[in-house]
Chain A
Amino acid sequence: MRNNAAISKGIDWSLVWIYLALVLIGLSAIFAATYQEGDPVLQSFIAFKTDYSKQFYFWGFALVVGFFILLTDSKFFPTTANFWYAVGIILLLLVFPFHSSIKGTESIIRIGAFNFQPAEFCKIFVALALAKYFSHPETNFNRPGSQFTAALFVLIPGGLAILQRETGLALVYFSFFLMMYREGLPSIIPTIGFAFAILIIASILIPPNILAVLLSVIAILLIYFSRRQIRRRRQILTSILFIWAIAVGIQRFAVPFIFEKVLQKHQVERIYNLFGKDNPYDPQQKALSEDASRKKKESGSSYNVRQSKIAIGSGGFFGKGIFSATQTRYDFVPEQRTDFIFCTVGEGFGFLGSMLLLGLYLALLMKMINLAERQRSTYSRVYAYGVLSVFFFHIAVNIAMTIGLAPVIGIPLPFISYGGTSLLTFTVLLAILVRLDADRQMVLR
């Protein structure tokens, strides 16, 4: 009893309630997406057969793990953070010789009946290790050296994930830059990143030659309007010319390089499809006729998005109800129990249901920010922001891709998507946060 009181002391119950609500929504969504009429529901739970029953057991396991985390001393996390990080990296490396042959990915290790994805887990360790690094008294994030080290923490697992052909997961690691921004990453870096993104989108939408001309015109106009300042300071002219050269260079060489060499073909296609364009870097696509390329699109990645939009759009305001949702029940949306699970919610519960889910997520994220800001120790705050970054990225990108706002990146929707690893990962992330928050008066190093 005493022990119990000790655990529950300081725990932020609102987070727990939100968590429970989300997991229950997730379970029912998976149930709706996979239940077939006449399935023996009870038997399937015993037999560990259907997806919803598996997810239920995963959840049970995740709850146990979460409970143990709540029992753990807060000091345990900063102390062992670097160790966990090392474990994570080793696991990621172990994937290369031991990965299983599951479609399109080399990131999964198979142990018995369980598929196990270290890149998914590793998020926890990165969050822990980064928090540890930032809370270190010697770290001064204003120094480029520290910035570089912090970036390395993220880039190593991110790079490994890319090598495992899990670009989606790799991008999650880059979401930690949101946390770094909070911790004083110079504004110039996100600005450059933003400009870079704009430039890439522009080079997708505008033919390269015209874009080059446009950039040049902008540069000339800039020089013309700032001619007075330039007269006073020559450097401005140089920097304008420098930026112009970089921009044209990126547009001319970097973008083709990324699309041709770094990203995989289907990923480039998804990005282009998002903007309603054909992939110009696909030599086959060039040869295809208009009609054939349209057909290809319909069957390719944009088919997912199209079907997903149809499913969500047809939900209307109130939704069709969980068992009348024809699009999701009859498999029109591929991957609908995992990455496209939001369709089930959108079709079955309509705008109302989607808003409710969105509201829950917003409450979760806002709560995390508030919670982060009330921490006394840097460690807890940085960790909280790390968790926030990961959650925000997952939620925003996942939902945005199902409604055609983001390219299709295979990342799950926290607590909703089917998948044991992701449920466990998010539960652990949240549980540690709740644990740390419970001891927010403590200063952790």
Chain B
Amino acid sequence: MAVYNQSRSNTIRLIVIITFVVIALQLFYLQIVDRRYEQLAMDNAVYPKVIYPERGIIYDRNGKAILNNTIIFDLMVTPAETKGIDTLDFCRLMNMETSEFRKRMVDAILKNTSVRPSVFKAMLTKELQARFEENSWRFPGFNLVERPLRTYPYHAAAHILGYIREADKRDIERSNNFYRQGDYIGKTGLEAYYESVLMGQRGVQYMIKDNKNRLVGTYEGGEYDTAAVAGRSLRTHIDIELQQLAEALMNNKVGGLVAIDPKTGGILSMVSGPNYDPNDLSGPDGSKNFSRMQLDVSGPMLNRAIAGRYEPGSTYKPLGALIALNEKVVSASYGYPCGGRYTLCGHGKPECTHAGGGHAANVRLAIANSCNAYFAHIYRLTVDNPRYKNVYDGYLHWREYMNAFGLGVRLGVDLPNENTGGIPDTVVYNRENAGRWTSCTNLTLGIGQDKMQTTPLQMANAMCVIANKGYYYTPHFVKGIEGEGDDDEVLLNRFQQKHDVLTNIPDIVFNEVIEGMSDVVKVGTARGAQIEGVEVCAKTGTAENYTILDRRRIKLPDNSMFVCFAPKENPKIAIAVFVQNAGFGATWAAPIARMMMEKYLLDTLTAKSKIDSARIASTNLMPSYFKRLQYKEDSIRAFKWFQVTKDSMYIDRFSLQEPARGPRSPFRKTPTEPELPNWVKILSATSLPERGIEKLKTFSA
């Protein structure tokens, strides 16, 4: 073999060089030209872990935390690491069926693969947590992970505080994707209204993950991390002990109660019945309770204190008197010869509980005796005032007064979903009466009926106006925000603003009405609201109401209402109590208000009140038709469920029970005997708040 092929060595050199150049070019392209790979690598290996800030706390007027944060544990599982554990033992420990165990394992693997941890059981009860912790060494692959939880040491103020839940699609859209899947967001109440204050600022921690998405460390030693900023706390006007009492008194009743400090507009207490324990929505059974309550026809989630529309009935009468006196259609000494009914409109209505005896000889007496005829008449005089060209004009003028009292308008309380109530426009009457109507048409507006609708909050606020003789502050809960800044002023400034709505009414006129309201308690319909040493001004109210059930109009028991403020001089509290389908205003609403005032003004209940409160708290005034309504709703839902799924399970359950009795629905918790009603605890132990705190301590320890 000679070396005559030497030239080929150059060919080989060329082949080698060309190959290397091609490789170098591709490397140049990958590493320098195409920058996509950098991002892809980041997506691969860096996981921005969101650090959730602690939400702000809400304090009552005395600085007690009525809402707090604690930590609850989720049981996490990494299926790949659980090999060789004693499943049966585990199930026995965690009170679980083995089939359930298997199902959850499969779910976990499907959701997050077997090498990544997923939630095995969310929010362990304290007992299960303790049991697991003792035995955790036996179950590799299982571990506990903290999650923040709202707790309510006083078990009260559910409707005021609202609740937080994971942000849903709509929340995320509305926030321009500020919120993300898994974030908690205030849904109602103060939690929703002050969301921006309470939520704080999310932090981000950049973590490195490996090829199986396991987090293995921090990225660049945390150089790009941002810390979470804790949410700020709220100081409110709420008096938590008063609130607890109010909730106990409203136990098993439908209606609303609002207590306001007239001098500031600060809401001391607000209850909506039926009520619930806020802890029910945040604990391990949160979602279960949530769906149960949502399907409950009695509407425990509805805040009737701001969204319930009620005819004010006789509680309107002080306002009617004020308007008539100020419009000078009557004088304070004006009397009406009531003979038990109002006859001037020809139909003898409205009727009056009193007849003769000069029970409506002047304004004071008419208020004290709550004479229907008298107030119907002065309403007519007001709207038929010859100063205005006709009844329509007069009516609109009257309506302006109403709006000035805060009726028929949204007051602007710091809770979402406030209702405007309803003081109809002339348009409504025009439409219904073909444009031809007189003061007789809506005569009963004069006694707070017809189309007049108010919320308990509005009536409490109207009492503030009378107590203050003409002005009010927008009712509100929040007194101050921790670390208040300029942004917060926007939120709170409007609560500092005094609304001089009716200061044009002279004090003499106010005094006349206030005297009348004082007489109501002293000698009139609300003698049961007397408090020794405190001069209470009040007005009772009783309104008829009807509902349509099974295509029949049935008459329900009257709504019991009571509005008041006290003391007469320098008022400190104004209250409106509405109890649906309870009876006379003096029977239920008045004593409730009285005890509230006693508690707030005297800081304790009298011996008589203690007995009364126990009686009231234990009385169930839930309308009986709810049972039937619930049964209907549930059975319709069961049928629809059947239509969709062809699963007759729910229907079967229905056909096994007696329809007439039956509020036992598959969606509701079977009503069991409550172990100890809330009110008993409250009334038997004044130190309950402390106990609540203690409970919390042991819980977080």
Interface string of A179-203 (1 = CB under 8 A from B): 0011110000000000000000000
Q: How far is the CA of A365 from the CA of B44 in the complex (A)?
A: 36
Q: Assess whether A224 is interfacial by the CB under 8 Å rule.
A: no
Q: Which residues of B contact A365 (CB under 8 A)?
A: 16
Interface string of B175-213 (1 = CB under 8 A from A): 000000000000000000000000000000000111110
Q: Is B41 touching A184 in the complex (CB atoms < 8 A)?
A: no
Interface of B is mostly: helix
Known: A183-B5, A362-B17, A405-B22. A326 touches B41 (CB 8 A): yes
Q: Assess whether A24 is interfacial by the CB under 8 Å rule.
A: no
Q: Which residues of B contact A307 (CB under 8 A)?
A: 44
CB distance from A33 to the nearest CB of B (A): 13
Q: How far is the CA of A372 from the CA of B15 in the complex (A)?
A: 16
Q: How far is the CA of A361 from the CA of B37 in the complex (A)?
A: 26
Q: Which residue of chain B has the shortest Cβ distance to A311 in the bound complex?
A: B41
Q: Is A330 touching B216 in the complex (CB atoms < 8 A)?
A: yes
Q: How far is the CA of A178 from the CA of B481 in the complex (A)?
A: 82
Interface of A is mostly: helix
Q: Which of B27-81 contact A (CB under 8 A)?
A: 27-28, 30-32, 34, 36-38, 40-42, 44-46
Q: Assess whether B20 is interfacial by the CB under 8 Å rule.
A: yes
Q: How far is the CA of A347 from the CA of B45 in the complex (A)?
A: 13
Q: Which residues of B contact A404 (CB under 8 A)?
A: 26
Q: Assess whether B23 is interfacial by the CB under 8 Å rule.
A: yes
Q: Is B26 touching A330 in the complex (CB atoms < 8 A)?
A: no
Q: Which residue of chain B has the shortest Cβ distance to A373 in the bound complex?
A: B9
Q: Is A314 touching B1 in the complex (CB atoms < 8 A)?
A: no
Q: Is A372 touching B45 in the complex (CB atoms < 8 A)?
A: no
Q: Is A181 touching B1 in the complex (CB atoms < 8 A)?
A: no
Known: A362-B17, A369-B9. A316 touches B46 (CB 8 A): no
Interface string of A48-62 (1 = CB under 8 A from B): 000000000000000
Q: Is A332 touching B211 in the complex (CB atoms < 8 A)?
A: yes
Can you pick out 24 interface pairs between chain A and chain B where the beta carbons lie within 8 Å of each other? Answer: A139-B1, A140-B1, A182-B12, A184-B1, A309-B37, A310-B37, A312-B31, A313-B31, A313-B37, A316-B31, A317-B31, A326-B41, A326-B45, A330-B216, A346-B31, A347-B41, A366-B13, A369-B12, A369-B16, A388-B12, A392-B16, A399-B23, A400-B19, A403-B30
Q: Which residue of chain A has the shortest Cβ distance to B36 in the bound complex?
A: A313
Q: Is B210 touching A330 in the complex (CB atoms < 8 A)?
A: yes
Q: Assess whether B217 is interfacial by the CB under 8 Å rule.
A: yes
Binding site for B on A (CB under 8 A): 37, 134-135, 139-141, 178, 181-184, 307, 309-317, 324, 326-327, 330-332, 346-347, 350-351, 354-355, 358, 361-362, 365-366, 369, 372-373, 378, 381, 385, 388, 392, 396, 399-400, 403-405
Binding site for A on B (CB under 8 A): 1, 3-6, 8-9, 11-13, 15-17, 19-20, 22-24, 26-28, 30-32, 34, 36-38, 40-42, 44-46, 208-212, 216-217, 219-220
For the complex of A and B, list the 9 residue pairs with the smallest distance between their C-beta atoms, beginning with the closest: A313-B37, A314-B41, A326-B45, A330-B210, A313-B30, A351-B31, A331-B211, A314-B37, A310-B40
Q: Is A403 touching B23 in the complex (CB atoms < 8 A)?
A: yes
CB distance from A61 to the nearest CB of B (A): 30
Q: How far is the CA of A351 from the CA of B31 in the complex (A)?
A: 6
Known: A314-B40, A358-B24. A350 touches B31 (CB 8 A): yes
Q: How far is the CA of A138 from the CA of B357 in the complex (A)?
A: 150
Q: Which residue of chain A has the shortest Cβ distance to B8 in the bound complex?
A: A182
Known: A326-B41, A330-B211. A354 touches B31 (CB 8 A): yes
Q: How far is the CA of A339 from the CA of B75 in the complex (A)?
A: 41
Q: Is B5 touching A184 in the complex (CB atoms < 8 A)?
A: yes
Known: A362-B16, A405-B22. A326 touches B211 (CB 8 A): no
Q: How far is the CA of A330 from the CA of B46 in the complex (A)?
A: 11
Q: How far is the CA of A346 from the CA of B24 in the complex (A)?
A: 12
Q: How far is the CA of A196 from the CA of B385 in the complex (A)?
A: 110
Q: Which residues of A contact B210 (CB under 8 A)?
A: 330-332
Q: Which residue of chain A has the shortest Cβ distance to B11 in the bound complex?
A: A181
CB distance from A419 to the nearest CB of B (A): 21
Q: Which residues of A contact B36 (CB under 8 A)?
A: 313
Q: Is A181 touching B12 in the complex (CB atoms < 8 A)?
A: yes
Known: A355-B27, A366-B13, A403-B30. A310 touches B44 (CB 8 A): yes
Q: Is A37 touching B9 in the complex (CB atoms < 8 A)?
A: no
Q: Is B8 touching A181 in the complex (CB atoms < 8 A)?
A: yes
- Which of B15, B24, B38, B212 is within 8 Å of A314, CB to CB? B38
- Which of B9, B38, B216 is within 8 Å of A372, CB to CB? B9
Q: Is B40 touching A326 in the complex (CB atoms < 8 A)?
A: no
Interface hub of B12, B42, B217, B219 (most chain A Cβ within 10 A): B12
